[in-house]
Structure 1
């Protein structure tokens, strides 16, 4: 079994056409909650691909139904898993 630590960064601040910074300030507790949800979602995706027991499936379904943010993070992590699986591994050119 292996562990993967993935984190997606959302950019909540941007420059408008006048060069002024615009955006929202997100409280640290919200960031930490979001990070924890993302981390849990990634762990569920990894565990799912390693094979879940019936009890674990029930736990996953319960976690997904607990909060819409859980489903969103899980769906994003699943898409990321799929995308990274489609990217061929990098092989450096052979030295002559």
Structure 2
């Protein structure tokens, strides 16, 4: 999925500023990618923040605690930083 450009830019600033580990990969979307809501006229930017998982297609997938905690920390910090002005800048860039 090609994401709305200001959103990934905002997303990548946060872990750099707060030293939250992350891996950035642009790969073809799996079946769990977000719906194409970002293509609607309502200007709803979207993207995915997956959790690295081993053996995802088995009954007991394996997730390292840090691989769960780091995306959770990132999402928490992103939500804290989403003020009205920031949302306007992401949704309607000049």
Identify the structure with bigger relative contact order (alpha carbons < 8 Å, sequence gap 6+).
Answer: 2
Using structure 1 for the length normalisation, give the TM-score. Answer: 0.35
More helix by share: 1
